[in-house]
Structure 1
Amino acid sequence: MKKGVSKSAVIIIGNALVVFICLVFLVFGLWKVLSDQVFDINMKQSMSGAPHEDILVIGIDTTSIKEVGPYPWDRKVYAQLISRLEAAGAKAIGFDIELYTESNFPESDKLLADELTKHKNIIFPSHADLEGDFDRSSKVKEGELIMARKTDQPIPMIQKSVNKAHINAAFDTDGVIRTNWMQINTPDGIFPTLGLALAQVAGVDVSKYLNLPVLQNRPKSEMLIKWEGKEFDFETIPFAKVLKGEIPPQVFKDRIILVGYTAPGSDEGITPIERHMHLVYAHANILNQVLNQKVIVPVSGAITLAMSALMILLFGFLTWRLKPITSIVLVFGVSLGLLALQYITFTYNDQYLDTIGAVLSGLISYIGNIAMKTYFETKQKNYITKQFGRYISPDLVKEIAKSDSEIQLGGIKRELSLLFLDVSGFTPLSEKLKPEEVVDFLNMMFNLITEVTLQNRGTIDKFIGDAAMILYNAPLDVPDHAYYAVKTGFEIQEGMEQIRRDVEAKYGVTLSIRIGINTGDVVVGNIGSYLRVDYTAIGDNVNTAARIESNARPNKVWVSESTYDLTKDYFEYEFAGEKLMKGKSAPLKLFEVVRITGAPVEGKKQDKVS
């Protein structure tokens, strides 16, 4: 199978797995926890903190309990409160208080019931039994009102004179109140939520709240609450002050009034904007939403799915087409852009565009594709390392691969030791061999040269027919490079002895290798044109090494004076004479390697061997 096909198959299978994982998360709502957190942040940041001025809360606070008496109170105090508020011109009064059983004072119950018969704008709520407060994880039928088994209603003498309403709270799976059932179907009829009922009693047009868009996987008439105020963003007056007449009557005129608990630890719940909110203020926020005719409309799930698909494609594309840093910046930027889009649509258009699924699907796609890309790049890097290792020392390859800094290419000046070798007698030998035998012989000879070179940390610059050029101290630093160059030449000559004997015995042809070595400053790097570039060395010292090789005796290693000075402590030399080289004004002193006598060790010299 071709490598390209294999790579394509892995990418296709990998991205199919990415799509499958994202679909599982989207279909089963596994992003919901994070989506809810972002929703809460949007809610907090967009709330005005200035609810409708017609709303007034009368709080049953700690001070009122101290002044009026221990709770529960005698129900005549509610009658007195209603009388005072009605006289002041209150538009509607809703009690977030449960009066489901008769009290120990029948005359007080009757007094309250008699007061209620005088008015048509009072609400004492009921509580619907929703099978354990309605488990959010249970299945509900979209498009139908949630159905209660029964209702706990105010006592009969009160019930007949008040408007219907429910005070059920809709808790999400994390215990936070983000929605409310605007209507609940019960055996006793349909009950609106307290805030909606108050608005209706006050004469507000509530028709849009009776036909709300159905939320995904939610019953009919469930509404996302638009929280606009924390507890005391709403004007709040202590119950006791109103009861004692300390508040001017005009404060209550044409106001919609909610009466509920504000004492610490009483009737509290968790909301997106406060961890401990007295639920009378939850009803106040719903009432405020109705008065302001606000409805948060969730964007279609199909759009969310389409956005997720787009992010999977986009982030996957960015991974393969761009450099890692660029792709990370763009992925981060696009993700922030989607979150900003969600906030803008929520704040200014009252639309809930859930982008978390799209963002996280895109991130899964990015992580999956970056993992595949890293795998293939590592595989390619290992392949290149393996191939490159045929030309330079494996130790150098490892250093290049793990180096944090780039190798300086493009031409730099540095001191190198350069080894040139040439095989004499190869032409007559090739005339006696078949073409495939010529290739086999060359491979055998160059294998020897390559192995010895790599063992001595050299870099094979090029093979030219039956000649070779080898560099030491490039592309990475090689301490004592002159020593390794000379050692390479000496070991190649030793290795060729058996090959020479075999060739002469079999074919009657005498082979010989001349090796010349010079050390000095050269220019090394990428040299050539934009069409063809070679990593090589150029300069006068390169030419000198080549000319030393051409003057060397067969099967010997000759070195220049500069190389001799650097290696004389490790090799035994014989003076080979002086040669006047082309382009030189003075003859060069040359030395022939006889044997190895020592080796440098961590910058120190070994004792010479005898």
Structure 2
Amino acid sequence: MKKNLIRIALGLALALVFFGHSAKVYQIALLNTLDAFIYDTRLRLTTKGGVDERIVILDIDEKSLAEVGRWPWSRDTMATLVAKLFDNYKIALLGFDVVFAEPDKSSGLSSLESIAGGVLKNDLAFQSALKGLRGELDFDRRFAESLHNRPVVLGFYFTNLDRVNRNGALPAPVLSAGTFRGRNVDLTSWSGFGGNLPEFQSNAVNAGHFNPIVDFDGTSRRVPMLAEHDGQYYEALSLAMVRVLLGKPSIIPGYPDSGPKSGLEWLDLPADKGVLRIPVDENGASLIPYRGPQGSFNYLSASDALNGRLKHEQLAGKIVLLGTTAPGLMDLRVTPVGNTYPGVEIHANLVAGMLDADIKQKPSYVLGADIVQLSLCTLALALLLPILSPLRATLLAAGMLLVAAGLNFYLWTSGLVMPLATVISAILALYALNMSWGYFVETRSKRQFAELFGQYVPPELVDEMARDPERYSMEGKNAELTVLFSDVRGFTSISEGLDPKELTQLMNAYLGAMTRVVQKNRGTLDKYIGDAIMAFWGAPVADADHAWHAVSTALEMQAELRTLDEPFRARGWPALRIGIGINSGTMTVGDMGSQVRKSYTVMGDAVNLASRLEGLTKQYGVGILVSDATKTLVKNMVYREVDRVRVKGKDEPVGIFEPLGTAEQIDKAVQDELKLWNQALRLYRQQDWDQAELQLYNLSRMSPGRDLYQVYAKRITHYRASPPGDDWDGVMTFETK
């Protein structure tokens, strides 16, 4: 435990960061965003779905605007609509998600009144006619009369604009000033409002505001059931409608205990069949119980109702909300179930949720529960993760995540909303901290070993070695490996034709490209020797396919070199040609050198032979030569046998081959040429000079630029003049390196 004190302390410090957010000492925007995302996801996963037949939305839609005219419609039209809804269709309740704030002058009555008081003041006939028309032309009065003694709930809005607007009339407050004095209640407060004309308000049975609370991300998730204005308290449109349905009972605020500092948690509406309880949060707001996406309630066109085109049963006994979905009337909102959701359907969801007692709760004790949950989880993780193995630590963190998420979802389905983002983020952060600590600190000795080895082997193998450093040692040992040498042809003349800066740039480009090919094929880059490259395979990381990787590397190096031709030509540099020699065999590999400088390298006769083969590529005019030992290890490759040679320093002859690619990569033309070459080589070794020369002539016509055929043609000319004798074994001896 003592060695883990720093780790535990860091874990506890990290836990305190999340604790401060959960306790609302400060707020972390990312966690709020994550919590909002989780809330919306849970809501979408658990919506009821289907259509609630009790509530109908009478829609001022595009069709209605086209038939009746642009909004607002004349009050005469609205009076006719209200009369038809109650008298013809027998609806139960009508709520307006619109405001009637301005007088209707569309009838021309005001103009006639002005004339009557002016030029026709003494015209008795005009005055008499106007008196008879006044009742028909006073559209506002007609609309007010249509509201009288009918269950109609008007809508109004609050505002907090810099310039205080107070238009129209407000309904009587539902709770008087001082109701929450001394209580820990923080209701949403507004300074201004837009209400209906006084004569409308006085004739309607009730009215409520239709302001949702727009969260930090622009989404509407709550509506304040009670809102404060000038010390008085006003109800939401949905609550006003439900109260009318219940006979307009008084609102009784509910508190979890009798203490003076207790916060508001519900509103009670006494009714004949008991008390209807509406959960609210610390702001007096209720979570909107979205039933589903738009269309969870029946939408009927307002013009169809106005013109009597609806069936009686479509509206009879229904709760009707008049609102709009027309885009130009600006009542579309962002919600968890849709980004262009009609505001009127928000009120429909709340009315349905209150009637069904289906509004989720977010009481004040949720804050304490979240803090307790967070404390238990983070304390356990901070103490246990440092002493557990990575596997057990992962299982513990995963188990806590599952328990926290499962409990949260269970409470959600039971009607209780608990935050989840903080505890999940804390668990993941503590897990990440401990895993990072384990990697960066506790494996420091392993990484130091890998970094030391990294001086001698390429980085891509260091990671593999670091996973199990005990398996690797820099001490010398014998092992079967494959070594590769490459060299640039004519480098001396190239270097003489370029200034030092250009030569440096050319070599950096060339060596960089070749090195990438070596590393891609798991090779250990031994060293650069001027323009030459030395690499080997099979150590320090064992590689059963070391010969295959080496031969593949050689072929890819030649292909990569051709991709450099165009950019080199563009810069005025010569195209490069290289020779590559490869050999496999037992070599000594290890950390070799002096106290001044060491290198992880390979030595032995097998290494020397690879170097000799690289030199022989010039003699035969080929790009790659591999020994028969390498060819034996790489059987799934097509080769051109080049010769059997005896190199300087070795008595035993060696077969040398040019790899051409896999069988799938070799086309028929190359295969035919290869068959002809094998015949020519056999005739050459049989000293059948004429037939061999004829075959070489045919081969030269097939591939005019192949130097190998010219090499053998010159040998035949030499051997005709100086026959090698009957005991000739066909081996070519080279006395130089």
Aligned to 2:515: none
Counterpart amino acid of residue 172 in structure 1 = D
* Equivalent-residue separation in structure 2 for 1:217 and 1:289 (angstroms): 13
Tell me, yes or no, if structure 1 residue 303 matches structure 2 residue 346.
Answer: no
Q: 1:280 to 1:206 in 2, by over 3 A?
A: farther
Secondary structure of the residue aligned to 2:207 is: coil
* Equivalent-residue separation in structure 2 for 1:167 and 1:220 (angstroms): 16
Per-residue CA distance 1:544-579 (angstroms, 9 max, x = gap) = xxxxxxxxxxxxxxxxxxxxxx99xxxxxxxxxxxx
Q: 1:209 to 1:332 in 2, by over 3 A?
A: farther
Moved more, 45-54 or 287-296: 45-54
* Equivalent-residue separation in structure 2 for 1:393 and 1:81 (angstroms): 86
* Equivalent-residue separation in structure 1 for 2:463 and 2:228 (angstroms): 71
Counterpart amino acid of residue 233 in structure 1 = S
Report the alpha carbon displacement of residue 251 of structure 1 after superposing the two structures with TM. 2.6
Aligned to 2:56: 56
Aligned to 2:430: 365
Tell me, yes or no, if structure 1 residue 122 matches structure 2 residue 152.
Answer: yes
Preserved contact between residue 315 and residue 363 of structure 1 (Cα < 8 Å): no
| Aligned counterpart for 2:608 among listed residues 591, 594, 604 | 604
Secondary structure of the residue aligned to 1:55 is: strand
Q: TM-score, normalised by structure 1?
A: 0.61
Preserved contact between residue 209 and residue 221 of structure 1 (Cα < 8 Å): no
Per-residue CA distance 1:508-535 (angstroms, 9 max, x = gap) = xxxxxxxxxxxxxxxxxxxxxxxxxxxx
Q: 1:314 to 1:12 in 2, by over 3 A?
A: closer
Aligned to 1:21: 17
* Equivalent-residue separation in structure 2 for 1:118 and 1:400 (angstroms): 87
* Equivalent-residue separation in structure 2 for 1:201 and 1:393 (angstroms): 81
Aligned to 2:442: 377
Counterpart amino acid of residue 600 in structure 1 = G
Moved more, 271-280 or 161-170: 161-170
Q: TM-score, normalised by structure 2?
A: 0.51
Report the alpha carbon displacement of residue 15 of structure 1 after superposing the two structures with TM. 2.0
* Equivalent-residue separation in structure 2 for 1:101 and 1:172 (angstroms): 31
Secondary structure of the residue aligned to 1:403 is: helix
Tell me, yes or no, if structure 1 residue 313 matches structure 2 residue 313.
Answer: no
Secondary structure of the residue aligned to 1:125 is: strand
Counterpart amino acid of residue 116 in structure 1 = L
* Equivalent-residue separation in structure 2 for 1:144 and 1:318 (angstroms): 41
Preserved contact between residue 165 and residue 193 of structure 1 (Cα < 8 Å): yes
* Equivalent-residue separation in structure 2 for 1:53 and 1:217 (angstroms): 26
Tell me, yes or no, if structure 1 residue 145 matches structure 2 residue 187.
Answer: yes
Aligned to 1:80: 80
* Equivalent-residue separation in structure 1 for 2:253 and 2:162 (angstroms): 25
Report the alpha carbon displacement of residue 338 of structure 1 after superposing the two structures with TM. 2.6
Report the alpha carbon displacement of residue 44 of structure 1 after superposing the two structures with TM. 0.8
Preserved contact between residue 94 and residue 198 of structure 1 (Cα < 8 Å): yes
Preserved contact between residue 159 and residue 191 of structure 2 (Cα < 8 Å): yes
Secondary structure of the residue aligned to 1:66 is: helix
Aligned to 2:98: 97
Counterpart amino acid of residue 14 in structure 1 = L
Q: 1:158 to 1:207 in 2, by over 3 A?
A: closer
**Cα RMSD after superposing both structures:** 3.9
Aligned to 2:71: 71
Q: 1:75 to 1:402 in 2, by over 3 A?
A: same
Report the alpha carbon displacement of residue 53 of structure 1 after superposing the two structures with TM. 2.4
**Aligned residues, how many?**
418
Counterpart amino acid of residue 277 in structure 1 = Y
Aligned to 1:113: 144
Q: 1:332 to 1:205 in 2, by over 3 A?
A: farther
Counterpart amino acid of residue 339 in structure 1 = A
Counterpart amino acid of residue 378 in structure 1 = T
Report the alpha carbon displacement of residue 61 of structure 1 after superposing the two structures with TM. 0.5
Preserved contact between residue 93 and residue 259 of structure 1 (Cα < 8 Å): yes
Tell me, yes or no, if structure 1 residue 158 matches structure 2 residue 158.
Answer: no
Tell me, yes or no, if structure 1 residue 200 matches structure 2 residue 238.
Answer: no
Q: 1:49 to 1:132 in 2, by over 3 A?
A: farther
Counterpart amino acid of residue 33 in structure 1 = T
Name structure 2 gaps, 5 residues minimum: 110-137, 165-182, 256-262, 266-278, 483-585, 588-601, 612-647, 650-737
Per-residue CA distance 1:385-431 (angstroms, 9 max, x = gap) = 89xx9xx99979x978742776898xxxxxxxxxxxxxxxxxxxxxx
Counterpart amino acid of residue 305 in structure 1 = I
Aligned to 1:174: 217
* Equivalent-residue separation in structure 1 for 2:607 and 2:249 (angstroms): 92
Q: 1:313 to 1:478 in 2, by over 3 A?
A: farther
Secondary structure of the residue aligned to 1:241 is: helix
* Equivalent-residue separation in structure 1 for 2:325 and 2:100 (angstroms): 18
* Equivalent-residue separation in structure 1 for 2:66 and 2:430 (angstroms): 61
Q: 1:236 to 1:286 in 2, by over 3 A?
A: same
Preserved contact between residue 182 and residue 210 of structure 1 (Cα < 8 Å): no
Aligned to 1:271: 335
Secondary structure of the residue aligned to 1:371 is: helix
Tell me, yes or no, if structure 1 residue 224 matches structure 2 residue 287.
Answer: yes
* Equivalent-residue separation in structure 2 for 1:305 and 1:393 (angstroms): 48
* Equivalent-residue separation in structure 2 for 1:246 and 1:20 (angstroms): 65
Counterpart amino acid of residue 246 in structure 1 = R
Secondary structure of the residue aligned to 2:210 is: coil
Secondary structure of the residue aligned to 2:49 is: coil
* Equivalent-residue separation in structure 2 for 1:95 and 1:32 (angstroms): 34
Secondary structure of the residue aligned to 2:428 is: helix
Report the alpha carbon displacement of residue 147 of structure 1 after superposing the two structures with TM. 3.1
Report the alpha carbon displacement of residue 319 of structure 1 after superposing the two structures with TM. 3.4
Preserved contact between residue 19 and residue 374 of structure 2 (Cα < 8 Å): no
Aligned to 1:437: none
Q: 1:280 to 1:602 in 2, by over 3 A?
A: farther
Secondary structure of the residue aligned to 1:11 is: helix
* Equivalent-residue separation in structure 2 for 1:401 and 1:52 (angstroms): 62
Tell me, yes or no, if structure 1 residue 403 matches structure 2 residue 465.
Answer: yes
* Equivalent-residue separation in structure 1 for 2:52 and 2:252 (angstroms): 18
Secondary structure of the residue aligned to 2:327 is: coil
Preserved contact between residue 12 and residue 382 of structure 2 (Cα < 8 Å): no
Preserved contact between residue 185 and residue 282 of structure 2 (Cα < 8 Å): yes
Moved more, 150-159 or 166-175: 150-159
Aligned to 1:190: 233
* Equivalent-residue separation in structure 1 for 2:70 and 2:462 (angstroms): 83
Counterpart amino acid of residue 324 in structure 1 = P
Report the alpha carbon displacement of residue 478 of structure 1 after superposing the two structures with TM. 7.8
Report the alpha carbon displacement of residue 382 of structure 1 after superposing the two structures with TM. 5.2
Counterpart amino acid of residue 425 in structure 2 = L
Q: 1:600 to 1:177 in 2, by over 3 A?
A: same
Percent of residue pairs identical: 19
Moved more, 223-232 or 141-150: 141-150
* Equivalent-residue separation in structure 1 for 2:450 and 2:91 (angstroms): 86
Preserved contact between residue 98 and residue 156 of structure 2 (Cα < 8 Å): no
Counterpart amino acid of residue 35 in structure 1 = D
* Equivalent-residue separation in structure 2 for 1:156 and 1:59 (angstroms): 25
Preserved contact between residue 196 and residue 206 of structure 1 (Cα < 8 Å): no
